[in-house]
Chains A and B, each alone.
Chain A
């Protein structure tokens, strides 16, 4: 691949967000903000049992309530196509798969009337005994054929048992992480309206193109019937990823039934059972090492839960596949299907909980070997992927650790735990490594020279707050060799053609390839004198062949996370005084928005470490703390000093822009760094998240 690493006029500069003024003035319209004449409102009637059947719905009484236009339910809903996605196979039968699953949708002329009618609707059930509580010894645990998204369930190299038996030092520890809910600030909302044989779906999605395809298949519509638009999305963190969430299908169904535009907006509590969450995990880590800390064996086993509707197995143990060198390395997963809501993607699925296991166990190994935890990681930094044997396209973990140690002030650290008392606080510091895959997915984009002045670039991307629109504008402007003010990037419209969504840290890497290529082609055509016709001159590029032609490499971004904590000697309250994160994530297109994504990831990591836990009521199969007062996420007062730095990470084996994506790596390793710091402060290991005062109290 041609090196495209030269400094450029816009890329690398901290351009403020293109849509910034729209967002601070309230002009930016999100899915639930789009005005439509004749709009009516759908309200979900949720199941109030975890398992069983719907016997009867009192539809007549509901229809008699003021303003009610229709009730959608199992007897009048259109027949759907089974696309292998049970969460979308709505109203197709009488089974209740989990608490909160939709059993009906009430459509009324105002939200108040829809809500009242839905809440008053009488539903009779035939309940069955539920199985709702995840535990690592659940008899229903099994090995699935693959884990998310398409990873091997088990990998095995060498003889782990023999290596552990012969190892001078062994760490054998179990770790638990709870169910966590994404809780983007914007609740899911979809508005569907038919016109001219097409249904336009204004929705809150990270994947506008994929959602348009899935919804068309689900309803048996001709391809292209569904147009999905998501110009502004109020956060996602995986919760608005593929597949479509149920409210989008309900809105299309309802608009089809009543022949008017219908909006279905979920309440905050309805997000818990309907839109996904991170599974609870149970992990066992066994590490074997020589006396000098060189790993001989790594084993990482993980157990997770899924629902009855979909087998969704979070890829927790894959974190240990490329991270540290060991001749004997085994990773494996098991999953159990329960009468619970369906887990989905949540920021760094797999790597976030998996890194808590491995990076905590490495800290325990450092203690056992009497080694500095940074030195332990440097001694086990592999030159090739220890599982696949592939070369890394670039791997700068060591640089991240060294730069971070300097910035954080690690050099003078006393390794002994529980020796730093500062008034009512125990103080400690901790470190963890981090990685996240650097993937690129085929995408199509168009670049148009407009008659007169300016350029328009179209790609079915989504800007969920990542700064994608801004980064793509900078990349396009440089490719066209024009100022950013001459380029308008349009995203969030499935009509722009096949495109990767904003997920898995793939967005900018995937979208920029066709954007940059189409822009360069267009610049070349203009330079060669091609005239601009009245409708504009357009270059289009589909990156599918180019992506497929890349060489075989292990492609990852790397990072190092550092934490300083204070633990209240009496209450066990943990305060994170500061975090330092150093990242090698390829080329940084916009240091301003990149920093924002990373401090956001680190903040979510802090929140995961100390606060977040969805609590299952086993009797009802309901996450009972389903609101933002009982499910705590970090607030402004929880966050101390955050320091972010990048190490230079040129990598020619990625994509023409040299970007790796950085939406997820910020969260990876943070809970382990904080847990390790709490041990350093108090001498008590933290193997269960969140680290509540009860767990941290001495």
Chain B
């Protein structure tokens, strides 16, 4: 590739490793991950922030990587599906397999990143649209908080079960 017309240097921590890359300013974080850094685990479903397939963790918070320009994550920590497992899969990954919480698997990396981010939000007491009183984990909260991640195969009940197993709760 020739040097783009309008380019910037971006430095980020990707799954714990420092990366420095010159990007076309139009490049989204999603396309940077997929097209430049061969991190294709993060998926593009809509490119409009409507489906959640591209969800990653930016400084620990879940984010749609298609809605972030790569230049906007300069100096930040990005965790993708490839960064969740160390020697063993992350408990959320294992629970998704055990509960068959996916079929085609295309939304799955986004669902798993979203679930991990969502449980942190819940632990910090963030309310949701269905919260009534103090925040606590139940199926209704999981369904509501995971509704930014579309699964066209319709694995929702299994996704709820997998998250509930990892999180405990009632």
On A, residues with C-beta under 8 Å from B are 16-17, 19-30, 32-33, 35, 66-67, 109-113, 116, 183-187, 232-237, 265, 267-268, 464-467, 592-593, 595-597, 599-604, 627-629, 633-639, 641-642
Contact = CB atoms under 8 A, between A and B. Distances in A.
B45 A187 contact: yes
A641 B41 CA distance: 31
A633 B51 CA distance: 10
B104 interface: yes
A23 B34 contact: no
Nearest to B160: A636
B158 A186 contact: no
B24 A26 contact: no
A473 B53 CA distance: 29
The secondary-structure label for the interface of chain B is loop
Given A186-B106, A636-B146, A26 B157 contact: no
Q: Which 8 A-B pairs have the closest CB atoms?
A: A26-B41, A234-B106, A465-B104, A603-B154, A23-B105, A465-B103, A600-B154, A33-B40
7 contacts: A25-B89, A32-B44, A110-B4, A185-B151, A465-B104, A634-B156, A636-B156
A113 B94 CA distance: 39
B19 interface: no
Contact of B152 (A20, A466, A596, A633): A633
A465 B81 contact: no
B50 A29 contact: no
Given A185-B152, A235-B103, A596-B158, A24 B97 contact: yes
B85 A25 contact: yes
Interface residues of B, number: 64
Nearest to A29: B40
Given A109-B1, A111-B35, A24 B103 contact: no
Contacts of A21: 89, 93, 97
B57 to A, nearest CB: 13
A25 B48 contact: no
Contact of B144 (A28, A603, A637): A637
Given A116-B26, A185-B106, A187-B44, A628 B51 contact: yes
B41 A186 contact: no
Contacts of B34: 32-33
Given A26-B80, A30-B106, A33-B40, A185 B150 contact: yes
Contacts of A27: 41, 82
A16 B162 CA distance: 14
Contacts of B85: 25
Contacts of B104: 184-186, 232-236, 464-465
B149 interface: yes
Given A16-B97, A235-B103, A636-B160, A24 B108 contact: yes
B154 A26 contact: no
A66 B25 CA distance: 14
A25 B82 contact: yes
B41 A185 contact: no
A20 B109 contact: no
Given A24-B93, A112-B24, A637-B143, A237 B152 contact: yes
Interface of B: 1-2, 4-5, 24, 26-27, 31, 34-35, 38-48, 50-51, 53, 80-82, 84-85, 89, 93-94, 96-98, 100, 102-109, 112, 130, 142-144, 146-160
Contacts of A22: 105
A22 B109 CA distance: 10
Given A109-B2, A110-B24, A268 B48 contact: yes
A64 to B, nearest CB: 13
Nearest to B163: A636
A597 B102 CA distance: 10
A537 to B, nearest CB: 33
Contacts of A466: 103
Given A66-B2, A639-B143, 15 more contacts: A24-B97, A30-B43, A32-B40, A66-B5, A113-B4, A186-B43, A187-B46, A235-B103, A593-B103, A596-B103, A627-B48, A629-B48, A637-B143, A639-B156, A639-B157
A344 to B, nearest CB: 16
A28 B42 CA distance: 11
Contacts of A29: 40
Contact of A112 (B31, B43, B156): B31
Nearest to A189: B44
Contacts of B94: 24
A599 B157 CA distance: 8
Nearest to A26: B41
Most buried by B among A183, A185, A235, A641: A185
Nearest to B35: A111
